[in-house]
C-alpha cells in the first residue's frame, strides 16, 4: 500500500489487514501510556482545503500517538487564500520533507492528482475529496461494524474476519456523500450486503453500477430487510442552495420519510446498531432519541477513527516499500510469506 | 552439536543453491531445556509468586505458555494461565524503516499487570539483542516491573547490544551466514531447532538485523 486514495483500490485481504492492525492499535489506546515510538522522526502534514474538525483532529491524534511530527495546514489563513495552486503547495510541503500528506479537498480527485503528479514523494491519504471518497471513514465504520456484529456480537476475537453476511442500510443524502461511496465499495469488498435508502432526488446518477441495492422507502427496508446496522448520513445543507435546495420539499417532510426516530429504531432487529459519521443534524436525519440510544455507536466511531487512522499511517509509513518488494520476491523460494524471526 | 549433524538438504529445493539443514535440538532436548529453565526461574526468584512470563510473538509465545505449565507443575500453588502473557514489540523496533511492513501482534498482560512484579521475557532465539531492547521499551510503557529477566531457547551469539540472557536452553555458536530456526508444535507442526546453511553462498550472507 503506497497511498490510500479510495476504498475501491483495496482488496479484501488488505482491508482485513487494516482492520486487524487497527484492533491492535485500539488495544494500545486502552493503556495508561498511549504514545508509541513507531513513527518517530516521520513528518505528517494535514493539508485541509475544507473545514473539518473531527477528521483533522483524529488524524492529528493518530499521528501524535505514533510519535510522528504533525504539521497542520489549512487553506483558510494560508497562502492558498492568496491564490497558491495545489501544485505549489505540494512542492512546498515536499521541500519541508513531508513523509505523508493527509489531504481534504472540495474537488473530487485532488488527492489522486497529488499522489500521481510527482510533486511529492510522500504517501497521500485521502481525508475526503468532494463528493468522491473518504476511505478512512469507511474503514472506521467497517471496524465498528465488525466489532459489534462479527464474532458472536463482539464477545470473541474478530481478527482476520470480514463482514460476510452483514446487511447494512445506508440512509439519507447519498448524492452528496463521499462516506456513502467509500462505504459501498468497502462493505461490498468485505462481503457485506448494502442497501441505499434515499429520496429519488438524493440518489446519484449511475447508482445502478454500484454494488448495492437502492430503495426509496426506509420503513420497508427496516421492516423487510432487517438490517444489522443502519448508517445515517448527514444531510449536507452546505452543498444545497436553499433550505432543501429543491432536493426535498421541507426538512419536516424529509424527517418523516427518511429520519431515524424512536419508532423506526424500535422496529429494527434487536441486535442492530446505528452509525452516523457526524456531525449529526439532530431533528433532521436522526432524532435525539435515536442519537442518544445505547444502540447508537456514534461516539465509539470517533474513538475507533483514531485506531483506524493509526493503522493506516503505520501501514503506509512504518515499513520500507522497496524492501517489501524484494522480500516478497524471495519469499517465494523460502516458502513462507512471513519473514522468519531469527533476530531475537 | 556435531554428534547430531545429519546434513540433509532442505526439502522443496527450487533448483537454487542447496540449503543444508542441520537439526541441533529435537523434541526431547527442547523439553529438557524448558524443564531446566523452569526450575532455574523458580530457583532464581525463590518461588513463583509475583512472576509474569511474557512471550514475544511469534515463537516466544508458545514457549512462555510451556514454561508456565512447567512452573505450575513444580509449584502447585501457581496458575499457569495467570502466569503467561504476550508482549508484542513490533512498534518499538529500530529497524522498521528497513523492513517490509510487519504485522502487529497482540500484547496481553495477565491479571494484575506488571507493576512491582518480576517479568521474565521469553523468546526463541537470542541474536543481535535488538528485539530485547525493543521489548524493554515496550515494557516500560506498560508499567514498572520490579525486575526483568530473559529466557531464550537458543543463544546464537553475535550480540550488537549489551544484553544477555538469564536462562538459556542451548548456546549455539554460529556464523553470520547461517540461519537458526526454532520450529514449534504450535506454530510449525513439530518441535526442532535447525541451522540452515546455504552452500556456496558467500555474498548473500545473513546480515544481523
Within a domain: A327: no
The verdict on residue B209 lying in a domain is no
Q: Are B72 and B41 in contact (CB under 8 A)?
A: no
**Residues A122, A139 within the same domain:** no
Domain presence at residue B56: yes
Residue B108 lies in a domain: yes
pLDDT tier at A84, thresholds 50, 70, 90: confident
Q: Do B104 and A25 touch (CB under 8 A)?
A: yes
The rounded distance, in Å, linking the Cα atoms of A209 and A32 is 47
Order of strands, sheet of A273-275, starting from the edge strand that comes earlier in the sequence: A213-215, A193-197, A167-171, A229-232, A273-275
Domain assignment present for A285: yes
Tell me whether strands B192-198 and B19-25 are parallel, antiparallel or unpaired. Answer: antiparallel
Quick check: B178 pLDDT over 50?
A: yes
Question: Would residue B14 count as lying in a domain?
Answer: no
Q: Are A139 and A42 found together in one domain?
A: no
Report pLDDT digits (tens) over A308-340: 999 999 999 998 755 444 443 333 333 333 334
pLDDT band, residue B209 (cuts 50/70/90):
very low
Whether B106 and chain A come into contact, CB under 8 Å, resolves to yes
What is residue A83's predicted lDDT score, i.e. its pLDDT? 79
What is the model's pLDDT at position A115? 94
Residue B114, min C-alpha distance to chain A (Å): 13
Place of cell 523468546: B123
- Is A33 in contact with B141 (Cβ distance < 8 A)? yes
Whole-number pLDDT of residue B206: 45
Contact residues, B window 147-186, toward A, CB-based 8 Å cutoff:
152, 156, 179-182
pLDDT given at position A268: 95
For residues A25 and A125, membership in a common domain is answered with yes
Q: Could you report the per-residue pLDDT of A228-250, keeping only the tens digit for each?
A: 999 999 998 777 766 556 788 88
The Cα A64–Cα B14 span in angstroms is: 46
State which residues form the domain around A235.
135-298
The residue in chain B having the minimum alpha-carbon distance to the alpha carbon of residue A16 is B103
CB B151 within 8 A of CB A40: no
Instruction: Kindly state whether residue A164 falls inside one of the protein's structural domains.
Output: yes
Contact check, Cβ <8 Å, A323/B58: no
* Choice among A218-227, A282-291, A323-332, B55-64 with the minimum mean pLDDT: A323-332
Question: Is residue B203 in some structural domain?
Answer: no
CATH number at residue A83: 3.40.50.1370
Asked whether residue B180 is domain-assigned, the answer is: no
Q: Is the pLDDT of residue B208 over 90?
A: no
On whether residue B4 sits in a domain, the answer given is no
Q: Is the ipTM of this complex over 0.85?
A: no
Same domain flag for A151 and A77: no
Answer yes or no: do A175 and A292 share one domain. yes
| Domain co-membership, A110 together with A87 | yes
Range with the lowest mean pLDDT among A112-116, A150-154, A293-297, A327-331? A327-331
Does A319 contact B126 at a Cβ distance shorter than 8 Å? Answer: no
Residue A336 in domain: no
A329 within domain boundaries: no
Q: Is A115 in the same domain as A228?
A: no
- Taking any CB pair shorter than 8 Å as contact, residues of chain A touching chain B are 17, 20-21, 24-25, 27-28, 31-33, 35-38, 66, 314-315, 318-321, 323-324, 327-328, 333, 335, 338-344
One domain, residues A278 and A148: yes
Instruction: With respect to residue A214, please indicate whether it lies within any of the assigned structural domains.
Output: yes
The CATH code of the domain that includes B135 is 3.40.50.2020
Residue B13 has pLDDT above 70, yes or no: no
- Which of A45-49, A155-159, A225-229, B61-65 is predicted least confidently? A155-159
Going by C-alpha positions, the residue among A97, A68, A85, A177 that lies closest to residue A130 is A177
Question: B115: domain range?
Answer: 28-172
Cβ distance of B101 and A344 shorter than 8 Å: no
Q: Name the minimum distance, in Å, from the CA of A198 to any CA of chain B.
A: 40
Give tens-digit pLDDT for A131-169: 999 999 999 999 999 999 998 766 667 889 999 999 999
Query: Chain A: residue nearest B17 by CA?
Result: A333
Same domain (yes/no): A151, A18: no
Residue B9 has pLDDT above 60, yes or no: no
Helices (H), B45-128: 60-74
Q: Is residue A331 part of a domain?
A: no
Report which of B160, B151, B19, B200 is spatially closest to residue A336, judged by C-alpha positions: B19
Nearest to B91 by CA among A319, A339, A140, A23: A319
Distance CA B127, CA B203 (A): 21
Q: What percent of chain B has pLDDT over 90?
A: 74
In a domain, B17, yes or no: no
Mean pLDDT score, B7-26: 70
In chain B, residues with a C-beta closer than 8 Å to the C-beta of A344 are 56, 60, 123-127, 131-132, 152
Clarify whether residues A118 and A170 are in a common domain: no
Q: Are residues A142 and A278 in the same domain?
A: yes
What pLDDT, on the 0 to 100 scale, is given for residue A242? 61
A184 and A94 in a common domain: no
Residues A342, B16: C-beta atoms closer than 8 Å: no
Domain count, chain A: 2
Number of domains in chain B: 1
The mean predicted confidence, pLDDT, of chain A is 89
Q: Inform me whether the C-beta atom of residue B98 falls under 8 Å from chain A C-beta atoms.
A: yes
Cell 501544485: give the residue. Answer: A87
Query: Given an 8 Å threshold on Cβ–Cβ distance, is A324 in contact with B58?
Result: no
Question: Is A325 domain-assigned?
Answer: no
* Mean pLDDT value across residues B137-163: 95
Could you write out the DSSP letters of every residue in A30-55?
Answer: TSS-----TTTT-EEEEEESS--SHH
pLDDT at B169 over 60: yes
Amino acid at each position: 500500500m503506497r497511498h490510500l486514495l479510495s476504498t475501491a483500490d483495496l482488496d479484501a485481504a488488505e482491508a482485513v489487514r487494516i482492520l486487524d492492525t487497527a484492533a491492535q492499535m485500539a488495544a494500545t489506546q486502552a493503556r495508561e501510556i498511549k504514545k508509541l515510538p513507531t513513527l518517530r522522526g516521520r513528518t505528517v502534514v494535514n493539508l485541509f482545503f475544507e473545514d473539518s474538525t473531527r477528521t483533522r483532529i483524529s488524524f492529528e491524534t493518530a499521528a501524535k500517538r505514533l510519535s510522528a511530527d504533525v504539521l497542520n495546514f489549512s487553506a483558510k489563513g494560508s497562502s492558498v487564500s492568496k491564490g497558491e495552486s495545489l501544485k505549489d503547495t505540494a512542492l512546498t510541503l515536499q521541500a519541508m520533507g513531508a513523509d505523508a500528506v493527509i489531504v481534504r479537498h472540495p474537488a473530487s480527485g485532488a488527492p489522486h492528482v497529488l499522489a500521481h503528479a510527482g510533486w511529492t514523494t510522500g504517501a497521500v491519504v485521502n481525508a475526503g475529496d468532494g463528493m468522491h471518497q473518504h476511505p478512512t471513514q469507511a474503514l472506521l465504520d467497517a471496524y465498528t461494524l465488525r466489532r459489534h456484529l462479527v464474532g458472536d456480537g463482539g464477545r470473541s476475537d474478530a481478527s482476520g474476519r470480514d463482514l460476510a453476511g452483514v446487511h447494512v442500510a445506508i440512509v439519507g443524502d447519498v448524492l452528496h456523500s463521499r462516506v456513502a461511496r467509500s462505504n459501498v465499495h468497502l462493505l461490498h469488498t468485505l462481503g457485506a450486503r448494502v442497501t441505499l435508502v434515499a429520496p429519488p432526488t438524493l440518489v446519484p446518477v449511475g447508482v445502478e453500477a454500484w454494488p448495492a441495492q437502492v430503495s426509496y422507502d426506509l420503513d420497508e427496508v427496516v421492516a423487510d430487510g432487517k438490517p444489522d446496522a443502519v448508517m445515517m448520513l448527514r444531510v449536507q445543507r452546505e452543498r444545497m442552495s436553499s433550505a432543501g435546495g429543491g432536493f426535498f420539499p421541507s426538512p419536516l417532510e424529509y424527517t418523516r420519510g427518511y429520519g431515524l426516530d424512536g419508532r423506526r429504531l424500535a422496529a429494527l432487529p434487536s441486535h442492530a446498531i446505528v452509525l452516523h459519521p457526524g456531525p449529526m443534524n439532530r431533528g433532521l436525519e436522526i432524532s435525539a432519541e435515536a442519537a442518544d440510544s445505547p444502540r447508537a455507536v456514534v461516539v465509539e466511531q470517533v474513538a475507533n477513527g483514531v485506531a483506524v487512522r493509526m493503522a493506516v499511517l503505520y501501514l503506509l509509513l512504518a515499513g520500507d516499500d522497496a524492501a517489501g518488494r524484494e522480500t516478497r520476491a524471495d519469499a517465494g523460494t523460502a516458502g513462507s510469506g512471513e519473514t522468519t524471526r531469527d533476530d531475537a | 552439536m556435531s554428534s547430531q549433524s545429519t546434513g540433509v538438504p532442505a526439502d522443496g529445493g527450487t533448483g537454487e543453491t542447496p540449503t543444508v539443514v542441520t537439526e541441533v535440538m529435537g523434541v526431547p532436548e527442547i523439553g529438557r531445556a524448558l524443564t531446566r529453565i523452569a526450575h532455574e526461574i523458580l530457583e532464581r526468584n525463590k518461588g513463583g509468586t509475583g512472576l509474569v512470563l511474557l512471550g514475544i510473538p511469534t515463537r516466544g509465545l508458545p514457549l512462555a505458555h510451556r514454561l508456565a505449565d512447567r512452573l505450575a507443575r513444580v509449584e502447585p500453588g501457581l496458575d499457569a494461565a495467570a502466569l503467561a502473557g504476550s508482549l508484542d514489540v513490533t512498534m518499538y523496533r529500530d529497524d522498521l524503516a528497513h523492513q517490509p511492513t510487519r504485522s502487529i501482534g497482540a500484547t496481553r498482560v495477565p491479571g494484575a499487570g506488571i507493576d512491582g512484579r518480576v517479568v521474565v521475557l521469553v523468546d526463541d532465539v537470542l541474536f543481535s539483542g535488538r528485539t530485547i531492547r525493543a521489548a524493554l521499551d515496550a515494557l516500560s510503557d506498560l508499567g514498572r516491573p520490579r525486575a526483568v529477566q530473559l529466557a531464550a531457547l537458543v543463544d546464537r551469539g553475535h550480540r550488537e547490544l549489551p544484553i544477555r540472557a538469564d536462562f538459556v536452553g542451548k548456546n549455539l555458536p554460529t556464523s553470520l551466514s547461517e540461519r537458526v530456526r526454532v520450529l514449534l508444535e504450535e506454530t510449525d507442526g513439530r518441535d526442532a531447532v535447525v541451522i540452515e546453511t546455504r552452500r556456496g553462498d558467500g555474498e548473500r550472507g545473513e546480515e544481523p538485523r
